[in-house]
Amino acid sequence: MTSIDILMPRPMLPIVQEQLDAAFTVHRLYEADNPEALLAEIGGKIRGVAMAFGPVNAELLAKIPNAEIVSSFGVGYDHVNTDDCLAAKVMVTHTPDVLTEEVADTAVGLMIMTIREFGQAEQWLRRGNWESKGPYKLTGATMQGRTLGIFGLGRIGKAIAKRAEAFGMKIHYHGRSKQDDVSYPYHATPKALAAACDTLMVVAPGGAETKHAVNAEVLEALGPDGIVINIGRGTVIDEAALIAALENGTIYGAGLDVFENEPHVPEALLKLPKVTVLPHVGSASQATRNAMGQLVVDNLKSWFETGEAITPVPEMR
């Protein structure tokens, strides 16, 4: 398959780069002095794209008119315009399943950190305050007796629910539709879900359909004991409304692994005492990222060897 040309717009993990170099002819757009000139030169030869971030849209596809597949790194693929890919008859794949358990572990860890303020307590110790000023204050929130509302009960959402049940939490959920094989109470809107719980776990994908789905009304419904955790996409939460809700005491606190304009995090969020932040590390272990990278490679190999993708995005099934 070394005669097949693959476009790599940005650097990827060594496990991806080494295997693709061995199997295909890889064109690294990020190394070009003039990326547009390189695309004009090689665009007609490109049959596949390996990438971690976008955008992939009609503009790019017009420059690579013979592309057959976009193999995307990550379970989320809101950087890929699937309508444009469908119109151009380009397959799109992603990397689900292999990161489910890691992200669920991160979500529960972030939830506990946020509720019990473990990050803040650690900084209290590191700054010498325990010795000079005494113990860290008692936390106003507890894990005990909480109800978890999961916005997005897919693979990761279900894995989070399983873990949360072990902590004695009651589980409710919201998604695009009610799942007949799920016993948890279903709520038709994010606002209804928020009103039924005190801990809102956002696992929903990004995109126009979910943008700012968690808005001021949803946060108000969550209430003053409410905690918001987001390990889905930053765009799902209206960040300005979240900051206002935290500043005004509309909700109690927030734990965030994702943000609207990454890697930028608003200073106002960082100044709030009951906010725990992580730099988008939900799946960021070497083992899990390597498994995701391997799936990027395997999708490309499978496509060009058999004409079938291993993990096409739902729109392509």
Q: What is the pLDDT along the chain (317 residues), one digit of tens a residue?
A: 779 999 999 999 999 999 999 999 999 999 999 999 999 999 999 999 999 988 999 999 999 999 999 999 999 999 999 999 999 999 999 999 999 999 999 999 999 999 999 999 999 999 999 999 999 999 999 999 999 999 999 999 999 999 999 999 999 999 999 999 999 999 999 999 999 999 999 999 999 999 999 999 999 999 999 999 999 999 999 999 999 999 999 999 999 999 999 999 999 999 999 999 999 999 999 999 999 999 999 999 999 999 999 999 999 99
pLDDT at site 2: 77
| Residue extents of the structural domains in the chain | 5-98+287-316, 100-277
Structure tokens at 196: 């039924």
- Superfamily of 5-98+287-316 according to CATH: NAD(P)-binding Rossmann-like Domain (3.40.50.720)
pLDDT tens digits, residue range 72-84?
999 999 999 999 9
**Residues with catalytic function:** 233, 262, 280
Task: For residue range 145-190, list pLDDT tens digits in order.
Answer: 999 999 999 999 999 999 999 999 999 999 999 999 999 999 999 9
Q: Do domains 5-98+287-316 and 100-277 have the same CATH topology?
A: yes
User: So what's the pLDDT on residue 54?
Assistant: 82
* Rounded Cα gap, residues 112 and 251, in angstroms: 16
Under CATH, which number does the domain 100-277 receive?
3.40.50.720
CB atoms within 10 A of CB 182: 15
Task: Let me know: does 79 contact 37? Beta carbons within 8 Å.
Answer: no
Alpha helices in the chain (DSSP H): 14-23, 35-42, 58-63, 82-87, 100-116, 118-126, 129-133, 155-166, 190-196, 216-222, 239-248, 267-271, 286-306
Q: In whole angstroms, give the CA distance from residue 5 to residue 48.
A: 7
